[in-house]
Amino acid sequence: MKESERSFGPSRSEVQAHRGASAIAPENTIAAFRAAAEQGAEWVELDVALLGDGTAVVIHDMSVDRCSSSTGNLGDFIAADLETIDAGAWFDPRFRGEPLPTLAAAVSALGELGLNANVEIKQHPHHKSLEQLVKTVDEHLRARAPQTKIMISSFDAAALRRMHEIDPSYELAMLWSQLPDDWSDCLKSIPAGTVHLGYKSLSIGFLEEAAHRGIKVRAWTCNDPKLLASFWPAGLTGVITDDPSVYLS
C-alpha cells in the first residue's frame, strides 16, 4: 500500500507485531522480533512471565509445551534450563536452535534492532508475588537502550496499577477481550489512558466515546486490514497483528 492510500489505516508507528512477526517466525523469539524489523515494523508486542527462580522470560503460555521442543511448566524451570530449550524448531526447522529469550536478552535485542516494545505482563499462578513480577520487569526495562520506547499492557489491572506506582512515566494499556461495562472507571483507577481490545469487540460507539475521553484504543489480534477499515475514521489508534506487512506494505 502506498503512503497516499493509507489515509484510513494505521500509521507505521501504530502497527505492532504480535509476539513479534509471529506469522512468519516463532512467536516471542528474537527471530520474530528481527522479522518484524525486517518488515518495517517499529513496535513489537511481547509477553513476559517468570520462571520458578524468578528469571523473567518472554513467552505467552504457562508451559513451554506448545512453543518449544521441551515440556514442563515455567514454575519448574530455572535460568540454567533455558540452554536446553529450543523455541524455534516447533515452528519450522529453519529456526532450530532459536532460544527462549530472557527479558534481558529481548531488551538488548530491541536496542540492536531499533524496535520499541509493548510489554505484556502475564500473571500466572506459579508466580510468587505480583511485587516480584513487576519489580523484575521494571528492573530489566530500565536497562533498555535510550532510544527504545516501552509501553506496558496487561489483562491484570493490579499489575498496571503497581507499574504506575513504580514509574508513572510508563504508558499503560488495559487489555480486554470484551469491553466491560465499567471500562472507564477501571481505567481511571489504574490510571491508564489506553485500551487494547479484542478486535471482534470493537464498535463505532465505543471508539467515539473513547476518543471523547482522550483514551487511545488499539485492536488485537487482527491480520486482515479489511476487518478494521470502518474503525479508523471512528478513532481507532492502532493494531496488534501477527503479520505487520499486511498493514505496512
Using CB under 6 A, list all residues that contact ligand G3P: 18, 45, 47, 60, 120, 153, 175, 196, 220-221, 240
Regarding 14 and contact with Mg ion (CB under 5 A), the answer is: no
174 bridge partner residues: 154, 195
* DSSP for 33-59, written as a single string: HHHHHHTT-SEEEEEEEE-TTS-EEE-
238 bridge partner residues: 218
217 bridge partner residues: 195
Q: How far is the CB of 51 from Mg ion (least distance, A)?
A: 18
DSSP, res 123? P
Q: How far is the CB of 18 from ligand G3P (least distance, A)?
A: 6
Rounded-to-integer distance, Cα 117 and Cα 247, Å: 18
Rg (CA), the chain: 18
**Choice from 14, 42, 98, 120 touching Mg ion (CB under 5 A):** 120
Regarding 47 and contact with Mg ion (CB under 5 A), the answer is: yes
196 binds, among ligand G3P, Mg ion, none (CB under 5 to 8 A by kind): ligand G3P
Q: How far is the CB of 119 from ligand G3P (least distance, A)?
A: 10
Site for Mg ion in 148-207 (CB under 5 A): none
**Phi, psi (deg, nearest 5) at residue 103:** -65, -35
Buried b (16+ CB within 10 A) or exposed e, 157-181: bebbbbbbebeeebebbbbeeebee
| CB nearer to Mg ion: pick between 3 and 74 | 74
Regarding 27 and contact with Mg ion (CB under 5 A), the answer is: no
183 binds, among ligand G3P, Mg ion, none (CB under 5 to 8 A by kind): none
| CB nearer to Mg ion: pick between 34 and 122 | 122
The site for Mg ion (CB under 5 A) is made up of 47, 120
